[in-house]
Amino acid sequence: MFYLTIDILGTIAFAISGVLVAMDKKLDLFGVFIIAFVTAVGGGTLRDMLIGNTPVAWMQDSIYTFTILGAVIFAILLQERLRYLRKSLFLFDTIGIGLYTMVGIDKGLQAELIPIMCIALGTITACFGGVIRDILCNEIPVIFRKEIYATACILGGGSYFLLTRLPIIDEYSFVASIIVVIGIRLLAVKYKIALPNIYRNKSA
């Protein structure tokens, strides 16, 4: 129940972030819905297609579709005020990537993949909805350009596999790793931590 609540909150946050990008591009109602939809379920869809877990997850449970539909209607009705909700949305989004990362890792374990591939699946689940959103809106994906985002997922996923080597109940490791993702992401934004600059030419 707790798990589902967080999952739905993450879906809402991702969907609304899709609505915001789509409305910036002046898409029509259908376009806004599709962008919200792919932002929320695109990462999990790519994950399921990569491991052959088909029909993909959102086709097997209509709760995601209806949640996204509700979030889109809510976001369109409250469009002037959405900017004020930015902080809540950021929090939902951050919780969302924490949970989505671990959902992806769980699917990787079920598919009997090695840890590094599970971490890749977790990161894809959490981050690639946003990547597909940006591609559909004709932008270079924002997570390729700034801040610790995917990196939080990778580190959180890595900490899960470290924790499972210790004598800790698996559920605790799972929850702790979600907290690691969320913590890294929050700290990175609060202290403006970015990935190390890789460009040597300063004029660039």
What residue ranges bind a second copy (CB under 8 A)?
22-23, 25-32, 34-35, 45, 49-52, 54-56, 59, 62, 65, 76, 79-80, 111, 113-114, 116-117, 120-121, 131, 135-141, 143-146, 149-151, 194-196, 198-200, 204
Instruction: Write out the two tokens for 21.
Output: 């990008």
- Min separation Cβ 37 and a second copy, Å: 9
Closest CA to 70 of 8, 117, 130, 1: 8
Looking at the Cβ atoms of 45 and 173, the one nearer to a second copy is: 45
How many Å apart are CA 183 and CA 12, to the nearest integer?
20
Phi, psi of 24 (to 5 degrees): -60, -30
Looking at the Cβ atoms of 169 and 200, the one nearer to a second copy is: 200
Looking at the Cβ atoms of 117 and 163, the one nearer to a second copy is: 117
- Min separation Cβ 70 and a second copy, Å: 14
- Min separation Cβ 171 and a second copy, Å: 26
Task: Report the Cα 15 to chain-centroid distance in Å.
Answer: 10
- Min separation Cβ 117 and a second copy, Å: 5
How many Å apart are CA 128 and CA 148, to the nearest integer?
15
For the CA atoms of 59, 179, 89, 30, the dihedral, rounded to the nearest 10 degrees, stands at -20
